Amino acid sequence: MTDAEVFLQQLITGLSNGMIIALIAIGYTMVYGIVELINFAHGDLFMLGSFLALTIVGALGLESWSGMGSVAAVLILIASSACFCGTLNWTVDRLAYRPLRRAPKLSLLVAAIGASFVLMNLGLFWGGLPLDVFSGGIAAAAPKDFPDLFPDLNVLGNSAVQITRTDVGVFAVTIPLMIGLTLLVKMTKLGKAMRAVAQNPTAAALMGISVDRVIGATFFIGGALAGAASVMYALYNNSIGFQMGYRAGMDAFTAAVLGGIGSLPGAMLGGIGIGLIRAMSDQYVESKWTNAIVFGVLILVLIFRPSGILGAKQREKV
């Protein structure tokens, strides 16, 4: 491959991974924008979505579906994981976060860390179930192979630059979801309520908005996006594990902060940026330096723009 082809290949890889990171980051930034909570359990929620997808693959034998059947299989997995993760995220908010809504922020933060450990251990237990797709459960902590539901074919033919059907699937899923979320927030009644609660929850309540209901809907939507991202991640990397939520969660949180925590376009931009930085660092530097480079870029951005790339400056209340 020529230097230009190598660059294009890493660009495609970075964009694909960045789109997945952006979907996860949106969940972080939506929750923070409304309740000012860093939901550290979000990454582990994403992990459980991929475990559910693998369970469904084994239960329905989706790896044997071909042609348009493989597309239907992916849609089934996305819908199932999105509903599961959205419901689970709503449940975590209802049981763990809502009772602490008026407690000090530190209490909510500790609750989020606790929920993260609970979900991570749930994933460890899940991986130990005696199912064929989990290797009979003999090694619960070991990574699990996720079948490649799309044939690994280059849509560009014999070109040295490869764009697989999985790459196309990532873009075909993430871009409509991002557009749909943007339209929901800007043009629907629920979106207006979300913006009102984010700006001033007390005033929103006085205007007749059910603040708890809006917050619950926000958790559900953020969790659903993480569920969709978990399926695309599993298809793209063909491997999942109970600790994958930590790495994905850190990348997504970094993307949300980089783009501007609380900003949906910022989360999208930050996710794509993190994906590109990782891909280019792996290719042109060394993979062992990638994390240092990612956080180095984050620090530089925050030094010169503390609110993030697209974050709005907020006046401190005294």
Cβ-count burial of 80 within 10 angstroms (0-12 exposed, 13-18 middle, 19+ buried)?
middle
The CA distance from 32 to 16, in Å, is 25
Angular region, 308: left φ>0, alpha ψ -120 to 50, beta rest: left
SS3 content of the chain, % helix, strand, coil (to 5): 75, 0, 25
- The pLDDT score that the predictor gives to residue 105 is 84
Q: What are phi and psi of 164, to 5 degrees?
A: -80, 170
Sign of the four-CA dihedral 302, 303, 305, 309: negative
State the Cα–Cα distance between residues 301 and 307, nearest whole angstrom. 9
* DSSP-assigned beta bridge partners for residue 133: none
Q: Compute the distance between CA of residue 35 and CA of residue 46 in angstroms, rounded to an integer.
A: 20
CA dist., res. 266 & res. 259, Å (int): 4
**Spatial distance between the Cα atoms of 198 and 72, rounded to a whole number of angstroms:** 37
- Averaged pLDDT, groups of 10, the chain, 318 residues long: 86 92 90 87 94 93 84 93 96 93 87 94 92 86 88 77 86 90 90 90 90 94 94 91 90 89 87 92 88 89 84 54
Report which residue type is found at 62: L
DSSP category for residue 154: B
